[in-house]
Each structure stands twice: as structure tokens, then as C-alpha cells.
Amino acid sequence: MSHENPLSSATLPVIDIAGLRSADPTAQMALAQQLRDACERRGFFYICNHGVPPALIDDVFAASRAFFQQPMAAKLALDKKHSPCNRGYEPLRAQTLEAGAPPDVKESYYIGAEIPADDPRVLAGRFNTGPNQWPLHPPEFRPVMERYYRAAYDLGAWIVRGLALSLDLPIDHFQHYLTDPAATLRLLHYPPQPANPQPGEKGCGEHTDFGGVTLLLQDDIGGLQVWDTQAEAWIDAPPVPGTFVVNIGDLFARWTNERYVSTLHRVINRSGRERYSVPFFFTGNLEHRVECLPTCLAPGETPRYPAVTVEEHQIACYRRTYG
Ligand SMILES: O=C(O)CCC(=O)C(=O)O
Ligand SMILES: [Fe+2]
């Protein structure tokens, strides 16, 4: 698929989510309304007042830069190929998010919940479940990423609760999905777009995200673009200090029968500088069965997707983008 259409000047909304955690039902419902509008429109928005300490976010970027700036041999010692559960370093051009396009010009590092090798779920071979690979350099990498993983998980769970309210469901509707989450923290590093790129070559090919919601931190470089179906154009999602970019993933499109859209996006780093970003893919309990929500099926409508477990869905998505 190729969309070389002009850029739209439209902007994505910034939603102040302080009310969500307030335990004030009026504030929560007002917020649910804003989330509903943003999710029905484009499935992409910014959030501010999210409660994740700025110093922690700075530490995440600093540790990520320090890791990627090491010699290749040090990074390859932690190659994700050594991990049965997809944890660790992935070199440039290892993943192809856009079918038919050249591989993505990004390197990355995968981190998940730390689950010991003798845990019954690991012994049973659950997808992406197990211990992390932790680099020795920089020394603060592990404590920083573990703190951030918890903070991002907590925030993601609040967004999912807000989405429940936005769909006229009880705030704890997704409680089973929120237990034992298979959430993935990924560090990304994009070198500048090559001077003579292959046709269709990009930092990150156009794709939708696999999970429930994605919480994205980006540095000040820019390059993220979101496809606007109505305008048939790409919208820039520029860096906005103090915010996360949040987007709906495929699981919410399935739950809502596409009332909430899992929107195409891509990254082209035309800045001439290095770009760093940090997506947190909030994927939830692998055993949870995802099927059309009763509040998303009008009389006479049929579900567009068969029921699927989170695990089955994740396995299919990884297979598709890793050949
Ligand atoms: O780097 C970014 O800004 C976006 C990355 C992304 O879309 C992804 O990893 O799924
Ligand atoms: Fe994405």
C-alpha cells in the first residue's frame, strides 16, 4: 500500500487526563466523552497530565541513547535471537511493518514483564513470556526501564478503564484483560533517512499497532505521521513536550467492531539527525478472549472479526512482520 498524498494540516487533539484518576465520576465521564470522540475520529491523540514523572522519562531516553551508542558487538551480545521470548536487541532492517516495502530503518530493544524461566507460564511456552535480557551498560538501564515499565503499565491500565467508560461499560469491564499483562516496552532508534533511499524505504513502514493501546514517547525530532482516512492524507504527529501520543491498536478495533479505529501510521526521519522514541504496547492478558462488545453491535449488525485470544492475535501479528 502506498499513500503519497499531500500532508493534511489537521492536528490531533490533546486530552488532559487528570480527571480519569480523580475518582470523581463527573470528571471521569467528561473525559470518557473526549476519549470517545478522539477514538471514533482517528484513534490517535495526545495526553497531558498523565502522572508519569518527567525525570523518569528523561532517564529512559538517556539510558536508551547510551545503549544504542555502544559498538555493534556489545549490542549483538544481547540479540533478541538469543531469547525464546523476543526480548533484547534487534538490528536495523530486521522487521518489515509495511508489507511489500523494504525493511524498517530502525534498531530496537524489546523489554517485557520479568517472568522467571521456571514460571509455569514460561514452561508452558506462552508467547513472549519469560525473563528479559539486561545490558550491563549503561548500569542504570535495568532499574530505569523497570520503573518506567511499571509507570507505563499503570497509565495504560487507566486509559483502558477510560475506554471502558467511553464505550458505556463499567470502569472495570476489562479487569481480566488487565491482569498478567503481556505489555511490551520497546526502545527505538532511527538513523537519518538514507540519502538515496530504496523506493518505499522508511524508518517505520505504515502499519497499525497489534495490541490494545499504545503509549508513545518521542524525542524532539519529529517524523511520525498518521493516516487520516476521511481526508485521505497523512497528518504529522509532531513532538509535544510533556505528552504521550496514544493510539488505538487492533484489539480495540476488534472489540468495538471498528467503531474505534486502529489507524495506519509510519515514521520517516527526514531531520538529518538521530531520532529516539519509546512505544509501550499495552497488550494485556494473553488468555483473554477478544470478541465484539455488546455495546458495539447495533441490532442486525454482525461482528467483523471472529473471537480470538490475545495470544493468538499476537502470534499472527509477529509472524506477519518478521517474515
Ligand atoms: O517511533 C514512533 O514514533 C512510532 C513507532 C511505531 O509506530 C511502532 O513502533 O509501532
Ligand atoms: Fe506503531
Q: What is the pLDDT of residues 86-106, one digit of tens each?
A: 999 999 999 999 999 999 999
Phi-psi domain of 63 (left: phi exceeds 0; alpha: psi -120 through 50; beta: other) = alpha
Give the integer Cα–Cα distance in Å for 12 and 224.
12
pLDDT tens, residue by residue, 275-316: 999 999 999 999 999 999 999 998 999 999 999 999 999 999
Ligand 2 center to residue 209 CA distance, Å?
A: 5
pLDDT digits (tens, 9 = 90+) for 192-215: 998 899 999 999 999 999 999 999
Phi-psi label, residue 246: left if phi above 0, alpha if psi -120 to 50, beta otherwise: beta
Proportion of the chain above pLDDT 70, given as a percent? 98
CA pair distance 115, 86, nearest whole angstrom: 13
The atom of ligand 1 lying closest to the CA of 203 is: 1
Give the contacts of 320 (CB within 8 A, at least 6 positions apart). 99
User: Which grid coordinates are listed for 83?
Assistant: 531469547
Q: Is the pLDDT assigned to residue 1 strictly greater than 50?
A: no
Per-residue pLDDT tens for 12-49?
Answer: 999 999 999 988 999 999 999 999 999 999 999 999 99
Do residues 212 and 260 make contact, with C-beta atoms less than 8 angstroms apart?
no
**What are the residue ranges spanned by the domains of the chain?**
9-322
Q: Which residues contact 46 (CB under 8 A, 6 or more apart)?
A: 12, 13, 14, 15, 240, 243, 244, 245, 246
Q: How far is CA 197 from CA 200, 203, 205, 253, in A?
A: 8, 11, 13, 33
Chain-wide mean pLDDT for the chain?
94
Ligand 2 centroid distance, CA of 228 (Å): 15
Measured by CA distance, the residue closest to atom 3 of ligand 1 is 224
228 lines ligand 1 (CB under 6 A): no
pLDDT value of residue 23:
84
The mean per-residue pLDDT over the stretch 117-129 comes to: 95
The predicted pLDDT at position 322 comes to 84
Ligand 1, atom 1: closest residue by C-alpha: 277
Q: Is the pLDDT of residue 164 over 90?
A: yes
Whether complex ipTM tops 0.95: yes
Q: Which residues pair with 248 in a beta bridge?
A: 213
Model-level pTM greater than 0.90?
A: yes
CA dist 111 and 195 (Å) reads 31
**Domain at 9-322, CATH from 1.50.10.10, 2.60.120.330, 3.40.50.720, 2.40.50.140:** 2.60.120.330
Mean pLDDT along residues 61-77: 98
Contacts of 81 (CB under 8 A, 6+ apart): none
The ligand 1 atom nearest the CA atom of 224: 3
Q: What is the mean predicted confidence (pLDDT) over 76-85? A: 96
Decide: 59 in ligand 1 pocket, CB within 6 A: no
Residue 17: CB within 6 Å of ligand 1? Answer: no
Secondary structure, 3-state, 38-103: HHHHCCEEEEECCCCCHHHHHHHHHHHHHHHCCCHHHHHCCEHHHCCCCCEEECCCCCCCCCCCCC
Distance CA 246, CA 163 (A): 12
Residue 217 Cα to ligand 1 middle (Å)? 9
The verdict on the CB of residue 266 being under 6 Å from ligand 1 is no
Do the Cβ atoms of 16 and 35 come closer than 8 Å? no
**Which of 305, 318, 298 has its CA nearest to residue 112?**
318
What would the mean pLDDT of 135-164 be, rounded to a whole number? Answer: 97
Task: Name the grid cell of 265.
Answer: 501510521
The single residue listed with the C-alpha cell 490475545 is 310
Mean pLDDT of 131-157: 97
Q: Name the pLDDT band for 6 (thresholds 50, 70, 90).
A: low
Tell whether ligand 1 has an atom less than 6 A from the beta carbon of residue 189.
Answer: no
Q: Residue type at 283?
A: T
- State the virtual CA torsion across 201, 204, 205, 207 in degrees, nearest 10: 180
